[in-house]
């Protein structure tokens, strides 16, 4: 019998640019309330772009941490890499892509940070321990420091920064290292907050050399032991994270004026999680550390003041 050729499938109808941005806004608000609060302090065009970037990052992270993660393979990540290439060529595939393609046209950025984030997911696919902090630092850069680099083009820098003649080297300076430092600080904070949850999945992100340094074992961690060894270990980790936040602060005054307040707010709100961990006596096994809304409201005017004078 004569076989008729299969009729080609019509191209998928995607939502409009405005609808795509609204989807990204809703996803950001649902899954990252603290981050979303910071974006509301940005001008409309910038906040929408940040939502689009956030959603791509979340979808990337979901490949290895989401409900379907058990089906993710290296081939899955390669397909996501191919998907990314399409976006940078201006060809959206899914509804959420429409906003990101528009963002990439408005705020051109290199593809490398996006590729590096996918490389970070490869690490999560094959590793559940990190021997040294240098190993962990590379992971933190890939899954979080890259977000700072993606965001730099959107945040912008001040064309005539308020600097003295003794700081002429800051003219035309792009705060890449500081953006990476903020991403690493945020990821270290995530790791400390989520120790208990990660342990339930058989993962330990705290460097094993640090556990050895404080004579705290993997068995102790899986049992949720909280004693002086654990408190000293966590205090050490928190000091390290705070140093990265401090390193990031240097770059904020270089940013465009309309970006400084939201970035200061985001930094302070996220760094506040470390204060909560301390207040909870370092119990991250039975309590999830988060900054309560009244405290968030206290941070906002302080962040505004810092944006004006620092």
The verdict on residue 145 lying in a domain is yes
Do 36 and 154 fall into the same domain? Answer: no
Give the pLDDT confidence score for residue 310 in this predicted structure: 77
3-class DSSP state for residue 255? strand
Q: Mean pLDDT in the chain? A: 92
Interval 122-145 mean pLDDT: 96
Closest CA to 207 of 138, 286, 288: 138
Whole-structure pTM value? 0.90
Residue whose entry in the numeric block shows the structure tokens 């696919």: 125
Q: Give tens-digit pLDDT for 135-146.
A: 999 999 999 999
Instruction: Give one DSSP letter per residue of 10-61, joined into a string.
Output: PPPPPPPHHHHHHHHHHHHHHH-HHHHHHHTTS-HHHHHHHHHHHHHHHHHH
pLDDT at 174: 85
On whether both 230 and 84 belong to a single domain, the answer is no
* Contact partners, residue 95, CB within 8 Å, separation at least 6: 14, 15, 19, 20, 23
As given in the structure block, the two tokens for residue 196 are 């208990």
Closest CA to 205 of 195, 197, 214: 195
Residue 265 has pLDDT above 60, yes or no: yes
What is the three-class DSSP state of 157? strand
Between 12 and 223, the higher pLDDT residue: 223
Which of 239, 237, 181, 243 lies closest to 210 in space, CA to CA? Answer: 237
* In a shared domain, residues 76 and 185: no
Residue 33's pLDDT is: 85
**pLDDT, tens digit (0-9, with 9 covering 90-100), for 185-222:** 999 999 999 999 999 999 999 999 999 999 999 999 99
Judge whether 280 lies within some domain. Answer: yes
Q: What is the pLDDT of residue 4?
A: 40
84 pLDDT more than 90: yes
Residue 101 lies in a domain: yes
Residue 230 lies in a domain: yes
Shared-domain flag, residues 258 and 131: yes
Is the domain of 95 the same as that of 149? no
**Over 50: is that where the pLDDT of 45 sits?**
yes
Count of domains for the chain? 2
Specify the CATH number for the domain of residue 191. 1.10.600.10
Q: Is the pLDDT of residue 40 over 70?
A: yes
Asked if residue 152 and residue 81 are part of one domain, the reply reads no
User: Taking 70 as the threshold, does the pLDDT of residue 5 lie above it?
Assistant: no
Q: Is 295 part of any domain?
A: yes
Q: Give how far Cα 8 sits from Cα of 4, 5, 93, 119, 223, Å.
A: 12, 9, 17, 35, 57
Whether residue 87 has pLDDT greater than 70: yes
pLDDT at residue 3 is higher than 60: no
Residue 87 lies in domain: 16-115
Residues 147, 205 within the same domain:
yes
Query: What number of other Cβ atoms are within 10 A of residue 82's Cβ?
Result: 10
Classify residue 176 by burial, with Cβ atoms within 10 Å: 0-12, 13-18, 19+: middle
């Amino acid at each position: 019998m004569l076989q008729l050729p299969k009729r080609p499938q019509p191209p998928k109808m995607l939502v409009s640019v405005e609808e795509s941005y609204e989807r990204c806004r809703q996803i950001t608000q649902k899954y990252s309330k603290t981050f979303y609060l910071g974006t509301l302090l940005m001008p409309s065009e910038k906040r929408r772009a940040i939502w689009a970037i956030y959603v791509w990052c979340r979808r990337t992270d979901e490949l290895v941490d989401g409900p379907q993660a058990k089906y993710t393979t290296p081939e899955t990540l390669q397909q996501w890499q191919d998907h990314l290439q399409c976006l940078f060529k201006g060809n959206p595939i899914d509804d959420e892509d429409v906003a990101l393609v528009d963002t990439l046209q408005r705020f051109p950025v290199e593809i490398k940070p996006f590729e590096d984030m996918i490389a970070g997911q490869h690490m999560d696919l094959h590793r559940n321990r990190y021997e040294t902090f240098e190993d962990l630092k590379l992971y933190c850069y890939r899954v979080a420091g890259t977000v700072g680099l993606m965001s730099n083009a959107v945040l912008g820098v001040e064309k005539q920064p308020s600097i003295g003649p003794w700081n002429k080297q800051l003219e035309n300076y792009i705060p890449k290292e500081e953006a990476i430092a903020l991403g690493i600080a945020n990821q270290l904070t995530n790791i400390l907050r989520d120790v208990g949850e990660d342990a339930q999945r058989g993962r330990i992100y705290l460097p094993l050399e640090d556990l050895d340094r404080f004579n705290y074992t993997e068995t102790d961690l899986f049992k949720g032991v909280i004693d002086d060894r654990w408190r000293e270990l966590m205090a050490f980790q928190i000091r390290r994270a705070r140093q990265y936040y401090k390193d990031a602060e240097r770059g904020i005054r270089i940013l465009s004026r309309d970006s400084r307040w939201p970035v200061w707010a985001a930094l302070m709100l996220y760094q506040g999680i470390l204060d909560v961990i301390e207040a909870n006596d370092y119990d991250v096994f039975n309590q999830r550390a988060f900054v309560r809304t009244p405290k968030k409201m206290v941070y906002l005017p302080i962040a505004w003041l810092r944006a004006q004078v620092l």
